[in-house]
Structures are given as C-alpha cells and as structure tokens.
Copies of this chain bind each other. A is one copy, B any other.
Amino acid sequence: MALAPAETTTAFDFGPAVALSCRECGTRYDLGPDFACVECFGPLEVAYTWNSPGSTAVPVTRREIESGPANIWRYRSLLPVPAGVAGRRNLAPGWTKLIHAENLGRELGMRRLHVKDDSGNPTHSFKDRVVAIALEAARNFGFHTLSCSSTGNLAGAVTAAAARAGLDACVFIPSDLEEAKIVMASVYGGRLVGIQGTYDEVNRFCSELIGDPLGDRWGFVNVNLRPYYAEGSKTLAYEIAEQLGWRLPAQIVIPVASGSQLTKIDKGFRELVRLGLVEDTPYKIFGAQAAGCSPVSAAYKAGRDTVQPVRPDTIAKSLAIGNPADGPYVLDIARRTGGAVEDVTDAEVVDAIRLLARTEGVFAETAGGVTVGVLRKLLAGGLLDPAAETVVLNTGDGLKTLDAVAEQARPAAVIRPSLDAFRTAIGDNQGKG
C-alpha cells in the first residue's frame, strides 16, 4: 500500500532500508515482496534512512568499510540487510579481484585498464551478489522457497544460496542451456525445471506462478524480491571504487542482459559521491551486448528511447534477454554519462575470451567475451579513450561456457611418453605454435 514517508515502519530487520519507492513517480510503500508501483507501474527501489527526504545521516565511513569483512557485507550499511548479516548462513560473495590488466592494456593500446573479475564469486558469477541480498529479504518475509527465472548463472546462485541457508529452491531455466549450468543448478539440491522456450517465456511463466497458489510463500529473487535483489549489483560499484583507492573510474564497460546491473552500478557510483566517499569525477558508462541479442544496442544506435524486443540467438546465453526490463534506463545512462551501447558477434566474443585468457590468465564466460569484445570495438571506433582509467567487467566463468572455445582450445599434440615423440610433435607444430 502507498503511504507517506512518516508512516514508514516495519516489523522486519532490513537494516537501513525503510521503504520501497517508485523509480518513476516516487510513491513510497512499506517494505514488502512488491516490485511494481500500483500508481504508475514503475519499478520499485529500496529507500534508506540515509537517502530519505530530509535525512542528514552519514551511514558509513571509508574506515568502517575497510575494517569490514572481505565480502559484500563490508557495505551492509548501504544495503537492505540486517547489521548482523555477516554472521548468518549465506555464501558471503564479493570482494572479487580488480585486476590491473597490464598485458591486455598493452595489446589494446590502453594505459590504465582493469578487469573486475566476478568469476571469483562462490558459484563463479556476479549473481551471488544479488541473490545474497534477495535471500535476506526472503527470510524477512518468511518465504520457504527461493525461486527465479534464469539464463543459467542465477539458477546456480539461487540453489547454492538456498542450500547454505536451509531453504527450499525451485528454479526455472530455458531447457537448452549449457550442460555446466544445468548440472550446477541441480547439484545443490532443490528443484530445477527446464522450460521449452526463451528466457523471456520463462520469465513470463514465473510472473504467472507468483499469482497462483502454487507459488505461495515463494521468493522469486528477480521478480517479487527484485527491488532487494537489484541492490546487490551496487556492490560492484562500491568495490571497484574502493579497490581503485576510493576513486571512480573514468570509463566502465558493463554487460547488458536485463540492464539492471548497469543501472545499479551507476546508482552505486552516485551514492558514493553523495555520501562523500569518493570525489565527484565524471565517468562514462558503456553497455555491451551480443549481436545475436542486442535490442538495447540497436535502440542506442537508432537514437530511440524505447527498446524493441528480439528473439535471442547467441552463444552469450547469460545475456540472452530479448525484452530487457531496464533497457530504457540503460539508454538514458549511456547517453547522460557520454558512454555508448555496442554489440559484438559470436566470433568476436570467442576471440575476446581467448584474448583475455592469453593476456591475463582470466578465463571468462561468454558474457566476459562480450564486454572485452565491445571494449576493443569501442576503442577501434574512437568512442573510448585509451588513456583514461577504464574498468571492464567479467561477470562469469569460462568453465560454464566451455563449448564456446572448446574447438580452439585443444592439445597441441597427443603423443607417447618419449622424447622422440615429443621432438616429432614439436617439429610437426613448428610455425603453428
């Protein structure tokens, strides 16, 4: 129910969060498992004590953050979670490496390039961040089952988090996903259901399920828990800034699936400025899509404000959302910050995966190939400044999308265990290596 700010109360423990607030019209609601404004259908976002009207609170200092745990809970004062969250049973994701990519930078002619490598998370994708926040919301609301529609990574993150937390899980994926993602989403227990259709069809199915008695007391992390869930992506912004020495990068390349991650990284940067944790320096945000699912990139290039849904056809399955909910916001942010949205072909994705692996020893999933590929394309097109401090995101792990590179990543030779055989193989391979 809509209510005035003064009436905001809650029996839950959401830490500094006090209400939900419509992104479009600002209407405020009690903290609940809601995601759309009943007034204008706009998306709901979490409002905090420290960003509520009239607040002068300083929620946290650099020193307090730096003395926190080496995971996202170091930012608990900026998230809708209880103060004691670090002691609860969760996967404690985050604080992944920000790699100074000197070798890749040299190949691309860039001087200050960093890779934020979220393959270091517990289930090896950035999804552990958002699920950890949604899990706390599910606990607050007394949900017994954690659920989601997923392009793969999210399903594994949800079932793993539910296992640790002792909740049931039931997750939904397109049935044609990569083998590794299917196994990973099954091995933690819970129930994995394959849907014969695209991610967008899986997503619609989940929306129906929420309205059905079958889905009662289920927390769909990216539907009815979405306002909480989405806040988890802010931690990428916080970590990047802190790992750069409390500074915003000048440029950042972010993959675009639903677009939520990109909008929340922008939000995270702006919060850090507002809270005085970093200086207010300009930054450009670039969105990256695969050509086989590039509705936002297409809209950007056409100068449109709206996104035309597409039917995805790309090896970057974790980005294969044809009808991205936050697409218009991505367009707005790219234009406002002086960034862009670009897309690359599947062949360019594979090349970029191999480039990143060969130069930095980071094996990215196809989504990481998309961002590195787009980085290269933007540089070639003069849209990205090679001299400016730049961060490119790798949000997942190459072990989950092996097929993308399996053909090119084979042994140079298979031989008997003898020096002669090796000599012959070396000879055979000279000029190829």
Interface residues of A, Cβ cutoff 8 Å to B: 70, 89, 91-92, 95, 97, 102-103, 120, 122-124, 159-164, 166, 173, 175, 179-180, 182-184, 186-189, 191-197, 201-202, 204-205, 208-209, 212, 214, 353-354, 357-363, 397-400, 402, 405-406, 408-419, 422-423, 425-426, 429, 433
Contacts and interface: CB of A to CB of B under 8 A. Distances in A.
Nearest to A95: B70
A214 B179 contact: no
A398 B187 CA distance: 9
B103 A92 contact: no
A179 B183 CA distance: 15
B398 A400 contact: no
Contacts of A409: 182-184, 186-187
A183 B360 CA distance: 16
Given A123-B363, A361-B164, A399-B180, A419 B194 contact: no
Given A122-B120, A179-B402, A422-B209, A416 B354 contact: no
A358 B415 contact: no
A202 B164 contact: no
A211 to B, nearest CB: 9
A417 B201 contact: yes
A318 to B, nearest CB: 15
B410 A363 contact: no
Nearest to A196: B416
Contact of A188 (B180, B189, B358): B358
Contacts of A360: 163-164
A419 B182 contact: no
A411 B175 contact: yes
A253 to B, nearest CB: 21
A5 to B, nearest CB: 38
Given A163-B359, A180-B180, A186-B411, 15 more contacts: A89-B102, A103-B164, A124-B397, A160-B361, A179-B402, A187-B357, A188-B357, A189-B358, A191-B429, A191-B433, A196-B416, A197-B417, A202-B417, A212-B419, A214-B422
A304 B426 CA distance: 43
A304 B136 CA distance: 53
B361 A412 contact: no
A371 B346 CA distance: 40
Contacts of A92: 97
B187 A353 contact: yes
B399 A361 contact: no
Contacts of A164: 103, 360-361
Contact of A410 (B173, B182, B429): B182
A193 B357 contact: no
A417 B195 CA distance: 6
Given A179-B402, A193-B411, A208 B163 contact: no
A416 to B, nearest CB: 5
A182 B411 contact: yes
B183 A419 contact: no
Nearest to A425: B193
A205 B418 contact: yes
Given A164-B103, A214-B423, A193 B399 contact: no
A418 B212 CA distance: 12
A90 to B, nearest CB: 9
B405 A187 contact: yes
